[in-house]
Amino acid sequence: MLAKGGCPKSMLSIKDALEAVEGKWKLLILFALSASPKRFKQISKEVGGITDKTLSKELKNLEANELIKREVFDTFPPTVEYSITEHGLSLEKVIDELHFWGLKHRKQVIGK
């Protein structure tokens, strides 16, 4: 693929993908939700270092992109749970490759 570098059509689809997952939080939130549906506070704790305001904004954006689903349960008091959608799960390979590359990058550059 990289040999085709600069192909305008590929550039567009990479842009599309980057726009849907841009920022440092969205993929981490999806990763946290990939194991099981979670409540707001659980996501916040697992992702780490994110403010409630930012997490709330990111969750709305992920929902708009159909990557996660928000469900309200009629308990007392009502509970809200977030889960990953099938479309969100389809980012698995992207997250996998980032994970592998992150390990390598820490060894090669950050670890210096």
Residue for token pair 């210096």:
112
Q: How far apart are CA 14 and CA 6, in angstroms?
A: 11
**Nearest distance in Å: CB 77, a second copy:** 25
- Smallest separation (angstroms) from a second copy to the CB of 16: 4
**Per-residue DSSP letter, 38:** B
Q: Which is nearer to a second copy, 52 or 66 (CB)?
A: 66
Binding residues for a second copy, rule: CB under 8 A, are 1-6, 10-20, 22-24, 27-28, 31-36, 46-48, 65-66, 87, 89-106, 108-110
Closest approach of a second copy to the CB of residue 26, in Å: 9
Handedness of CA 19, 71, 53, 94 (dihedral sign): negative
Q: Which is nearer to a second copy, 48 or 78 (CB)?
A: 48
**Phi, psi dihedral angles at 40 (to 5 degrees):** -50, -50
User: Which of 53/93 has CB closer to a second copy?
Assistant: 93
- Using an 8 Å Cβ cutoff, are 55 and 25 in contact? yes
